[in-house]
Every structure is written in structure tokens, then in C-alpha cells.
Structure 1
Amino acid sequence: MDRVDVGVAKGADAAAVARSLRTAAEATGARVSTRAQWVSAHAPHTTRTTRLGYALVLGIALLYTGISLAGTLAMATAARTRDLRSLRLTGATRAQLLRLATAETLLPTALTLRRSTPRPVANAEIPPDQSDRVGSRVRGPEVI
């Protein structure tokens, strides 16, 4: 066991509990620290190397996404050569065909991005019967 979280009951003297814990810890060689001390000692810290690693992974993911999209568009265009040839024979110019292909690509992409982009919830209302429970899942026992 590497850690024990201790909570102080309402009405209890936190300083007295801390003194008792420190006295008990001295006998066993354990260390007593506050929540803030423990978090600063054990929380991961972002360094330049970490950010560079994130950027590298993101770059690889974006490259793979670009290659996948290009392959998908190439297959879709190859499957539509008959349709595009018919449009060309009816008088559509090359520029018009490119605009059509661009619109057919960008419209579904834009709609998908619009639907999947997270948006902040502004002025969210908390139902009156739930207001006392907001954040209760986040709070943990006080570490002393």
C-alpha cells in the first residue's frame, strides 16, 4: 500500500488529527502530507519533451488521416468516372466538375465537423433538487 487517504469528520479538530497521524507515522517511518503536497509530488508535469511527443503523435495521426481521405476520395472519384464523363459530355467544364467534387466533399465534412465539435454549455441551469449534489462526485477525503 503506497497511500492512505484520511478524512476528518465534521466537528473534529483537523490539527489534532494531523498531530496524531504524524506521531503514529514517526514510529513506522511513514510520511504524512497534505493533499496539496501529495499532488505536487506525484502529479505528472508537462515538459517540452512531453509536448513534443504529443505534437509528434498528433502529426502522425493527421498524416494518416490525410492519406486515408485522399485514398477514399480517389476511390470515390474512380467509381464515379462514368457520371463525371456524362456531365462532361453534356457541356460541363473541368472547373465546374472540380467545384462539384469539392462541394460534394466539403459539405458532408463540414456538417460532420459541426455536429461533432464540442461546444461549451453557457448558462446551464441546475435543477433545484440536484443543486446540493453538484460536484459531490469530484470531492474526495481530505488528506492530512
Structure 2
Amino acid sequence: MDSAGDPLDPRELRAWIAFLTAGHLIDHEIERQLKRDGGLSHPEFEVLVRLRSAEGNRLRMSDLAREVMVSKSRLTYQVTQLERAGFVKRTACESDRRSVWAELTDEGAAALGRARPGHRRVVREVFVEVLAPEEIELLGDALGRVADRLRHR
């Protein structure tokens, strides 16, 4: 018998509501910090982080969309905002005329540098310091399995 459509039991419902609530509240705290320290939204910060981590500080837009897990149209909006701020530039891909590179600029690296210390502080304060080391391990494993299931859909 498939239980997928059954109501959540109290334990499952409590975990689900706690996950949603914590996620929203953490995102709100991170958004406030990023705006204050770097003038960035959380999605913009994620784009800059991915570009900073990439070889040559650049990624094809299609690869960047997969990395930040947003639609191509949503990514185009974010990159346009970052380009207007001077944090990212787009260039044509020499080997594939259909592709476009998004590249981190020096100004984007500087904005990321201003935002990162506060970001790390907030993540530690609202997430890491609240959990015991074994809970962090367990949560990482559990949410990793959730992400894996959704990636394969």
C-alpha cells in the first residue's frame, strides 16, 4: 500500500513545520545581512559565490543555472541585476555561439568579500551554534538524501 497521500503523523508534521519555519527565518536573517553588508540579495550572493568558485571566475549561463538551481529566466534576471551593478559581465562563448559566459568582475569579488564574513557569522550564529556536532552530521546526511531525490526527478 502506498502511503504517499496519507496525512502526516504528528511527528512528521512537527518536523516538516520546523523545517519550513527554520528555513524561512534563516533565509530572512541571511537576506538582511547580505543587503546590509554587500547590497546583495541572497540569490545574487549565491551567483557570485558560484562564479568565485569556478575556474577563471566564470561559468556558462546554463551551467550557472544548474549550480544555483533556478530557471534560466530567473538566472537571467539575477545576472542582469548583477551586471547593472558592475559585479558580473556577460561575454559570448568562443567555442559555442549559443552559449554565454557569466564572469565575476573585480567589483563583484569586492562585494562578495564585503558580504562573506557577515554571512559566515550569521550561518554560525543561527544554524551551526544551535546544533550539536552529531546533529549537524545527521542533518547534513538527511538533507543530502532529500536533495539527491529531488535532483534525480
Shorter-chain TM-score above 0.5: no
Find the structure with the greater CA-based Rg.
1
- The higher relative CO (CA closer than 8 Å, separation ≥ 6) is in 1
TM-score when normalising by structure 2? 0.24
- Structure with the bigger percentage of strand: 2
